[in-house]
Structure 1
Amino acid sequence: MSSVKNTFSIKDLENLTGIKAHTIRIWEKRYNVLEPLRTDTNIRYYDLLALQKLLNITLLHDYGYKISKISQMPSEKIPQLVQDIISTKSAKNHAISSFKMAMMNFDQKLFLDTYNSLLSEKSFREVFFEVFIPLMEEIGFLWQAETISPAHEHFISYLIKLKLLVNTEKIQSENPTKEDKVFVLYLPMDEVHELGVMYLNYEILLSGYKTIYLGQSVPIDSLKDLKKYFNNITYVCYMTVEPNKESINTYVKEIKSQILEEDSNLWLIGRCAQNVDKTMLDSKTRLFNNITELVTEL
């Protein structure tokens, strides 16, 4: 596992804030909004305080404040102004920035404060769709770009999972109101990215269906066992990084031949699912482009 980063290159700042490195340099030179630190060999780098300041500046800039005006503000006024101007329109971006800072600082209190603030104005579904889904998409990019370490990703994912579990438990005690099908949700072998399928479990339960949640890295034989207990099964397979592009069509063929029966269906979703040969899709095997599309189908 990579060591935890608490210093950042200008490219890291670009990845975390969305402000181009060229623009950051201009803001530094022309307006002195950031003061980079330097190594013994005179290489520029930035600390967490600089990252936090730039995230706040980015929000103010997006909200219409000119950099020339922001640069004249005392440093302590910027976060105060950010808090003052947060509205429904800007709450999403501010929350994502706050969650990023919570992740970078391993700050559970900041995560909880930000989450509770959102929940005072929005439903859990709105928080997940409007904030958590785009946040996790950004985190996936930041991890690939090596801006954050696996430790950061695991930390923030765990906290989001806890909120999913709490909200799922609230509705699990209710008996299903729809009995025409049972949903089996799982990740294929070697797939561990669980947040998406956990949220789908919540949505399907909320829609009144019975779910069987199997979780990570489920072998095909385990799916076979379920046919002994349930009819009219819809299998929901969430594929983020597995199976890979070379093996995914073979995997889908195996599921169709070994698992699917006349009264069962296979729903595929996730980044890797987009690599499935479209000729393999039919009325019983469907591909969804995103969570919203699948939820609409319920």
Structure 2
Amino acid sequence: MLHNQLFNKRENKDIRQMKNRGYSIKDLEVLSGVKAHTIRIWEKRYELLVPERTDTNIRYYSDDDLRRMLNVAMLVRHGYKISKVAKWDEERINQTVLELSKKKASESDFTDRLILSMVNFDNRSFYNLATEIIDSLGIENAVAKVFFEFFVRVGTYWQVGSVFPAQEHYVTNILRQKLIAEIDKLGVSGEKNATILFFLPENELHEMSLLFYSYLAQKMGYNVIYLGQFVPWDDLIKIQKKVNVDYVFTAFINSISKTELENYLESLKELYSKQKVFITGWQLQLHQPRLPRNVKVVKDYHEFKRFLR
């Protein structure tokens, strides 16, 4: 019993040390996509990284180690031999990554570079890269093929503790600004003479998908009423009485039970009984809820555009 207590105290101390000083090998595995076993081999065989160790000999890694690992992982995925890359200094590794990024600007490469800028809180690089991605792919493909995939990966990292909330908020705000700027360029036409109400339920703060779908609707000539995050149910009731809408769109990303979700959808059907209600979000994939007759799940932006034509 006493032995277990002492072991747990040492283990907790190790965790505190790693959190205060750097990253665990599991963090490097999750962020780089390289298995921990492979990282250890690269350390032993090529001296790629030289980690610090806790009092009980557990590895932990610095920001510089993480940057090196992310860059090397990217190069190896593109066919460079680890035995050669491991001998390069940081300047050559960084330069090769930059050259590769210019030549092979795939969606996966863009996502890797976004992750690296986020981890480093490199505001200029992240902002400029987001601009480059939009200019290269167009806003629709940039969001659907890169930014959404980026947030999926960030969500995974957050769950395992490799990314902390401030990092997610920081990059979300930059990409949110980009989307709002694109929406502003469209102006307000409402040429289709139809109105779509966009909102997120109470306790729902993840706004990127809602902004993107509102952009698509506005681009297609719909009149968009955008309420944004955390809309109380009482406000929806008041709006329903004052504003005539043809469609309603909402999303469910934050954790919610299947029962709560189905009850909310049923209430939404009653409130907007004459409108088509579009819904999207991870919780729908997770729970596969029973859908009221006027509620439609939107699987991707191509499907949404087909609905609106």
Could you say whether these structures have the same fold, taking a TM-score greater than 0.5 normalized by the shorter chain as the test?
Answer: yes
Report the Cα offset of residue 224 of structure 1: 2.6
Are 1:182 and 2:195 counterparts?
Answer: yes
Structure 2 counterpart of 1:97: 112
Query: In the TM superposition, what are the counterparts of 1:1-80 in structure 2 within 5 Å?
Result: 7-80=22-95
Assess if the C-alpha contact under 8 Å between 1:191 and 1:239 holds in 2. Answer: yes
Deviating more after overlay: 29-38 vs 188-197: 29-38
State how far apart, in whole Å, the 2-side matches of 1:47 and 1:295 are.
45
Listed one character per residue, the Cα deviations across residues 67-123 of structure 1 (whole Å, up to 9, x for unaligned) are 122123233211111111225644433322222222222221111221233344232
3-state SS of paired residue (2:90): coil
Are 1:277 and 2:289 counterparts?
Answer: yes
Listed one character per residue, the Cα deviations across residues 150-182 of structure 1 (whole Å, up to 9, x for unaligned) are 1111111111111111111111x2312212x31
User: Which residue, out of 253, 261, 265, partners 1:240?
Assistant: 253
Query: In the TM superposition, what are the counterparts of 1:54-203 in structure 2 within 5 Å?
Result: 54-87=69-102, 89-171=104-186, 173-179=187-193, 181-203=194-216
TM superposition score normalised by structure 2: 0.86
Assess if the C-alpha contact under 8 Å between 1:182 and 1:233 holds in 2. Answer: yes
State how far apart, in whole Å, the 2-side matches of 1:133 and 1:28 are.
33
Assess if the C-alpha contact under 8 Å between 2:258 and 2:289 holds in 1. Answer: no
Report the Cα offset of residue 126 of structure 1: 2.3
- Classify 1:233/1:158 alpha carbon distance in 2 versus 1 (closer, same or farther; 3 Å): same
State how far apart, in whole Å, the 1-side matches of 2:40 and 2:282 are.
34
Assess if the C-alpha contact under 8 Å between 1:182 and 1:209 holds in 2. Answer: yes
- Larger helix proportion of the pair: 2
Structure 2 counterpart of 1:288: 298
Report the Cα offset of residue 292 of structure 1: 4.3
Assess if the C-alpha contact under 8 Å between 2:265 and 2:292 holds in 1. Answer: no
State how far apart, in whole Å, the 1-side matches of 2:44 and 2:105 are.
28
Higher relative contact order (CA 8 A, sep 6+): 1
Give unmatched runs, 5+ long, in structure 1.
none
State how far apart, in whole Å, the 1-side matches of 2:211 and 2:203 are.
17
Structure 2 counterpart of 1:218: 231
Structure 2 counterpart of 1:206: 219
TM superposition score normalised by structure 1: 0.89
Q: CA RMSD in A?
A: 2.3
- Counterpart code for 1:253: E
Q: Report percent identity of matched pairs.
A: 31
- Counterpart code for 2:48: V
Listed one character per residue, the Cα deviations across residues 194-217 of structure 1 (whole Å, up to 9, x for unaligned) are 111111111111111111111112
Assess if the C-alpha contact under 8 Å between 1:4 and 1:149 holds in 2. Answer: no
User: Which residue, out of 240, 243, 249, partners 1:227?
Assistant: 240
Deviating more after overlay: 94-103 vs 211-220: 94-103
- Counterpart code for 1:270: G
Structure 2 counterpart of 1:260: 272
